[in-house]
Structure formats: C-alpha cells, structure tokens
Structure 1
Amino acid sequence: MIRACLALLLVLAATISAGSAHAQSRSAAFVADMDSGQVLHARQADAPRHPASLTKMMTLYMLFEAIERGDVALTDTMTASAEAASRPASDLGLAAGDTIEVEQAIRALVVRSANDVAVVVAEHLSGSESAFAEAMTARARELGLTSTTFRNASGLHDPAQLTTARDMARLAHALHRDFPQHFHYFAEERFAYDGATYRNHNSLVGRVEGVDGLKTGYIRASGFNVVTTSQRGEHRLVTVVMGGRTGSVRDAHAEELIEAAYTALDARAQSRLLASLDLPRLNPVRERELMTAELAGLDGPVAVGSNDGAPAAAVILADADPLAEPRLVTEPAWAVQVGAYASQAAARARLESLSATLGDAEIARAAPVTEPVERQGRTLWRARFDRLDADAARRVCERLARMGEPCFAVSPQA
C-alpha cells in the first residue's frame, strides 16, 4: 500500500543575470498553492515593502464587499471630487463633478490602475480617503494581512504604507475565494473609456499559460511589483514579485517562478504515479559522507530560488518503503543526482523514466543507482546516474536543466 506523499521541496532558481530584479536588496518573491496553502517559494517574503498600486487590490476588495452587501450596485454612479481629480497618473483624467459607474470604476482600477478612480471609490464608500484607508487596514488585518498598513486607496507613495509579499499573496487568495463572481475582471486585457482604450499593465495575463489576474504596481520607492494567479490542471498558484528593477525583468522573474513551480508540481504527480507501480528493486547503497546542503530544513517552508544563474530544479519526496535494506558497495566517481524519494521504487522508476527520455550513449554507459540517506529520522532514496566522468556529468545536468528536470552533479569528493 502506497502511503501519502510526505513532503515537497521546491528549488526554484531564476536564470536572469546577477543585476536582475531578484538580485536587488529590496526584491521579494513568494509562490504558494492557493488550494493547499503550501509555500513553494519564499524570498524576503516577510520583509516590509511598499505595495504601490497593489494597494488597489484592497480597494477592490472593499468595493466588492460593498456590492455584495447591497450598499452599491454595478450600475450606480459615483462623483469625482476636486481631491480625486487632483491625483497624478495613472488616471482617467476625471474632472471635479464627473461621474463614473461602479463597473467602469472596477475596470479602471484593474486595467488602467487609475489613481483618481481609487479616490472616487474611497470617498463614495467612506466619505474620505483617510477614513477609507483606516477601514482598509482594519479589514486587511481581519483577512490575516498582519504586516500591512494602508494610508490611501491608490498606492501613491506614503512612507507608512507597507506590506509584505506574503500578505499580498493572502490578499490575492481572499479576492479569489470571496468574490469568484467578480474575479473575471482581473483577466481583462483592455478597458475603453471616453473614447480611449487602455491596455492592462499586467503583460502576463493572456501571454503566460494559465495566468488569469491580478495586479501590477510601481512607484520609485517600491520598484516594479506584480501579483498573479494562475490555474493549470488541478493546481492554482499565487505568485508575487516585488521590487523589480524594470517591468520586463519583474515579469520575466514571475514567469520563471510560475513555470518552475508547475514543472515541479508535475514531477511530484508523476512520482506518485510511478511509486504505485510494482517495479523490480535495485539493492541500495549508502554514501560515506552526506552533502550538507542537500535536503536541509525538511521540517518547515524553505526559502529557495535565490541563487543567481542556477537552473530551476525540484526535489520530490515520494512514498515511504519499509522493505528496503541497505548494503554497501564500492563508490564510483562522478554522478548526477535527479531526485530524492521516500521509496526505493519511486527512485528506481525515476531513473528508468529519465533513461528512456534521454536515450543517449552517455546515459547508457552510466550506472543507475538508488542510495538511502537518513534525514531527521526519515529514510530517503537518492536517484543517481553513477560512473560518469566530470564532463559527462555536467553535460547530462545541462540537458536535464534545459528540459526543466531536477539535477546536480556530484563529485567524487562529495
């Protein structure tokens, strides 16, 4: 009987240059499975950051709540004050006394990120922007955004307006969970108003597979921010990148995190399937010395993906196998490791699958081996191709990295 999957560690590494957004000191990133709550990637996720126009996600949450309470309707009109009309771009160019329907305001906030419209909404719901900001903060705390303080409705700079990447992921999850009937607005790519057509600042929507929202933001103090949600198969993810040096670098980093996360989740699903097969077993071997960096910190979420230039990779822990008994054999030279599993059968199946996928002479000459290793009271099974020279090991790992597969080369001294 195959037992439930024990754990999943993702090692998500971007291939942007060292000068890219995630290498900057103010950058932060966070990826989580919205259904399970499992954290797949975290870098500076709890460090304070300026939200910029990500603030409008909370403005929209408050507006959606008002709609569901019956306080306002999509066809209601709201009037712009002189205060609202004075807000700088991005805006719709509203003048004092102009009116805008609630549904138009939603689209203007999502697509145009209109600062004047944010103030219109705030004043319509709370009488003043400052009162609305207090209500935003109070509601955010109720939603679990414990490190977030709002000072305005638009995200224009205020030194005290702060949040974290983790809190923005929580807000995205709350929007999707609480207002599925309104979530389609976040997928809109264009918005037409008063003879002008505006394009969504979130270039990931409609371009990256599965991405269906949410919001971008930028002020000088924050750098370039983005929150996205995406759905592929059974997995819905929320991805947050904050502090990008440019919009294009921010988007590239977010896309890489999304792709690496889904690749690793697919690998986990495959490992579960393969672990259920009745496969012949290899005798395990035990390594003399454990690599200190391998599988560190199994007991909690792991901050991963901050190594510049490293390929995306994943380590999957599959199902426990109590029947395996270790024995020692002579250790060969270089090897490549393609995963660590909680059953020898799963490790064996992974090696067979990759042998068939690669299908070259280099792999044919290698020796597929499974090796037990103890980690925090658990027995894991390494899956390795052994008896390679250094150049061959590096070539195999480079090929696997290009395919999005986990791999690292192991030297004889490791």
Structure 2
Amino acid sequence: MGRANHVRFSGRIAATFLFSVLLVIGGAAQASANSKYAGLVMDAKTGKVLYESNADAARYPASLTKMMTLYLVFDALSSGRISTGTRIPVSRNAAAEPPTNLALKPGQSITVEQVIYGLVTRSANDAATAIAEYLGGSEAKFASMMTAKARQLGMSRTTFKNAHGLPNSEQKSTARDMARLGIALREHHARYYKYFSTRSFTYNKRRYGNHNNLLGRVEGVDGIKTGYTRASGFNLVSSVNANGRSIVAVVMGGRTSRSRDAQMAKLIKTYMDGASTGRDRMLIAKAPGGASSAFAAMIPGSRVPLPTDRPEVETLTAYAPEQPVRAAASVMPVSAPRPQEPVRQVASAIDPMPTASTGGAAVGGWLIQVASMPSEDEALLFLAEIEKKAPTVLASVVPITETFEKGGVTYHRARFVGFDSKSDAWGACATLKKKSVSCYAVQQ
C-alpha cells in the first residue's frame, strides 16, 4: 500500500472511530438531557447489573404498576383463593376509570383470566380496579398490600397508591425496583408468567393488541409491561431469553414510545451477549409472610388510617387462635359467585405465642390477635373484615400479619397493633367477642 493510500485509509479509520465516539457521546448527552430517563439491565441468572443509569432515582411507574397487581393476582391463584374462572364484579368506581380500559359496565362481572389478559395487553385500568377491590376489599387497601409485598421483595424505594398506575404524586418506584419485580414474576410465578407473552386478546367482540411492540420483533423478548403517563414518560420492562442467556431490562421516562422501544432494543443488543450462560438460580427469595415487618417499613412511627369503604362481604367463621382452624374461607363480595371448587381444609394452627394471661410477654404497647391463618392473604382479608365489624374501636390501630411455625408449617397471625394500654386492648377484644370474633390481648 502506498503512503498516500495508507494515509487515506488511516484517515478513514480515524474518522470512523471519531464518528463512533461522537455517537456514544451524543447518545449519552441525549440521555442526560432527558431528566426523566432511568435504565437498568440485570443478568437474570446471576443478578449482576450489566448497565444502569439513574437506577435508584424516584420515577413514576405508570402502568408498570400493573406488574405488582398481577403478582398479587398470581399469588391468589397459587394459594387457591381464586381460580382463573372466578368472576370479578365491576363496581361503579371500577367502571369509571379512564382509558385505557375494557369499557366495563357497573354491575357486570369479568373472569380472573379476562382480567389478566386485559392488564397484560390492553393495560385496562377498569379491570385493575375491579380485581383490586375484590382481593383487597378496596383499592386503597389493595395498594397497601402491594407496597407490603414490594418490601418483601426488596423493592425498598417503591410505594403504591393504586392498582393501575394512573397519576398519583405519591406512587413512585425506581428502575432497579422494577427489575427486581420483573425477575420475581418470572421466578415465583413461572406457571402464570406465560400470560405476558400474549400478543392479542379479544373481549366483547373487540380485539386488543399488546402494547409491548418488542414482542415478536426483538429476539428472545417474552414480556413484560409498558407504561405511560404525561408525568412518567414512556416506560418499559422487558424480559429476554435467548441462546442460554437471560436478562431483565428497564427503560423509564422515554420521550416517545418509539424512542423508548429503540433504547430498549439497543440495551438488549448491547448487553445480552455479556449475560451469563450458567444455570438458573433463585435470585429473589419468596417471602414466607412477614407482613408485619413489611408494614412497619411502610409506615414507620405512624398510624395510618385505613379505608372503610369496602364492598359488602360474606360473614366469616370466627377463628379461635388457640383452636384448630376449620376452613380457609376466602372473603368474597356477596354479588360474586363462589368458585366451584370445595373449600380447602387446613392443618391445625395452635399459636405458641405466650399471651398476656400466660406470662412471658415483652414490655411495651399492646396488641390484639384475632386469628392464625394458613396464608398471609387470608390473614389480611380477615383483618379487613374485622375492621368493618368494629370500625370505631379499631380506628387508630394498624392491621398486620406475623408468621410463626408449628410442626414445620408456617402460619400467619392476624393482629391489630398500637393500643396504648391494657384496658384499650381488652376493651377492643370485649367488643369483638360480642360480634362473635375470637380475640385475645398481647403485651408487646
């Protein structure tokens, strides 16, 4: 090669290199110029963070919120409290949710599976509120359950105030927390995760396509969820499995859906090859319960009033903490048909916790216990029903659950904490016993 050609060739290399550098710098400058942007790529086999930008900065999740709504729906399915065929009643409140929605009408009902498809594809706000009211007694109470579950999953910077993601200034999360939730959905609910790959869903003779434009377009993408509000910008969490590698990637705050999708595709292309090809392992442990610590983290040093505007529910059997639990009856609205499977029989739950009457209690405030249940969800729903039975005496205390083990089986205490004195706690128990609710007081 002559000197002149060598100089020209070297010049082209230098120009190409400079152009590449400018592209990287320009991309970085563009991302930094967008104050809403946050992103993260996590190796789903090892938990290693392959890329992050503003990953712990508070962001509005928008409809990424529905990932947690679905996590709790999958929890309820796994525990047998509901089935995919259980019909969910639609309240006026749910039917009034703005688009996107399924145009549900007050008084109608929709199956759990239709709710799931509606959330995954259409991102239906009315369906999200309907299932929240059904599982939580009210959407506000369900949002508290969502936040408690977030804490259990290690999502320390996430707070939920609704089940759909419509604007609420207090509802915030981070790219890192959303990546954890994406991995938890895959690990804890592999049986139901397949719903996230649904390309379209037909309801009431209308077909709804999935908002996730990367499904079928980017190799390995199998879900998870999009989101958008004016305040949040365009969000996307993607799960990718290809060639023995697996990642979960998050983009939040995109200026347009197209730029968000392009950024996600770029992250996948850039970091997928660097992901591990090793064996799969559990990255996020399933919480055995522990809602008490979750609620404590959510409401430190304060007593937060809980909603009382719940739909009517069936009367529950009063469970005596010192006696075997006879049946795990789910709390269900009167208007909703019960699932067509028999009520599960559960093992005897004798709570070994010493009470105020037997000695051994720690010094501190007072709490009351109303049940020991086989699952956390049932304990939370039972607490919601008890609150409705005695709203006055329970107005200034906080419902929690707390786990204990007996014979190798985990149970969940249903409790109200925050009584100032023994007389207050005993008085509350006296009131509840008049309403056929078993109760005893414990000094903390």
Give the TM interval when normalised to the shorter protein: 0.5 to 0.7
State the one-letter code of the partner of 2:231: A
Instruction: Please name the residue that 2:244 is paired with.
Output: 234
Give, in whole Å, the separation in 1 of the partners of 2:214 and 2:135: 31
Q: Mapping of 1:184-223 within 5 angstroms?
A: 184-223=194-233
TM-score, structure 1 as length reference: 0.60
Distance change >3 Å, CA 14–CA 58, structure 1 → 2: farther
Q: Mapping of 1:7-406 within 5 angstroms?
A: 23-265=33-275
1:234 deviation in Å? 1.8
Give, in whole Å, the separation in 2 of the partners of 1:110 and 1:46: 26
User: Would the aligned equivalents of 2:43 and 2:275 in 1 still touch at CA under 8 Å?
Assistant: no
User: Would the aligned equivalents of 1:56 and 1:118 in 2 still touch at CA under 8 Å?
Assistant: yes
1:202-226 Cα shifts (integer Å, max 9, x gaps): 0011110000000000001100000
Give, in whole Å, the separation in 2 of the partners of 1:16 and 1:103: 45
Distance change >3 Å, CA 265–CA 193, structure 1 → 2: same
Instruction: Please name the residue that 1:346 is paired with.
Output: none
Distance change >3 Å, CA 261–CA 14, structure 1 → 2: farther
Give, in whole Å, the separation in 2 of the partners of 1:115 and 1:19: 35
Give, in whole Å, the separation in 2 of the partners of 1:22 and 1:73: 46
State the one-letter code of the partner of 1:158: N
1:121 deviation in Å? 0.5
Report SS of the residue matched to 1:181: helix
1:204-256 Cα shifts (integer Å, max 9, x gaps): 11110000000000001100000000011221100000000000000000000
User: Would the aligned equivalents of 1:130 and 1:151 in 2 still touch at CA under 8 Å?
Assistant: yes
1:38-78 Cα shifts (integer Å, max 9, x gaps): 10000000000000000000000000000111110001100
Instruction: Please name the residue that 1:406 is paired with.
Output: none
1:191 deviation in Å? 0.6
Q: Kindly report the root-mean-square deviation, in angstroms, between the aligned alpha carbons of the 2 structures.
A: 2.0
User: Would the aligned equivalents of 1:226 and 1:250 in 2 still touch at CA under 8 Å?
Assistant: yes
Report SS of the residue matched to 1:182: helix
Between the two proteins, the alignment pairs up a number of residues equal to 257
Give, in whole Å, the separation in 1 of the partners of 2:104 and 2:24: 41
Q: Which runs of 5+ in 2 are unaligned?
A: 1-20, 279-444
1:145-183 Cα shifts (integer Å, max 9, x gaps): 000000000000000000000000000000000010101
User: Would the aligned equivalents of 2:90 and 2:104 in 1 still touch at CA under 8 Å?
Assistant: yes
User: Would the aligned equivalents of 2:246 and 2:275 in 1 still touch at CA under 8 Å?
Assistant: no
Report SS of the residue matched to 1:71: coil
State the one-letter code of the partner of 1:61: Y
State the one-letter code of the partner of 2:266: E
1:26 deviation in Å? 1.2
1:15 deviation in Å? 8.8
Give, in whole Å, the separation in 1 of the partners of 2:228 and 2:177: 17
Distance change >3 Å, CA 97–CA 108, structure 1 → 2: same
Q: Taking every aligned residue pair, what percent have the same amino acid on both sides?
A: 48
Give, in whole Å, the separation in 1 of the partners of 2:124 and 2:26: 31
1:21 deviation in Å? 5.7
1:89 deviation in Å? 0.3
Give, in whole Å, the separation in 2 of the partners of 1:113 and 1:143: 23
TM-score, structure 2 as length reference: 0.56
1:263 deviation in Å? 3.5
State the one-letter code of the partner of 2:50: L
State the one-letter code of the partner of 1:83: N
State the one-letter code of the partner of 1:196: R
User: Would the aligned equivalents of 2:246 and 2:272 in 1 still touch at CA under 8 Å?
Assistant: no
State the one-letter code of the partner of 2:52: A
1:143 deviation in Å? 0.6
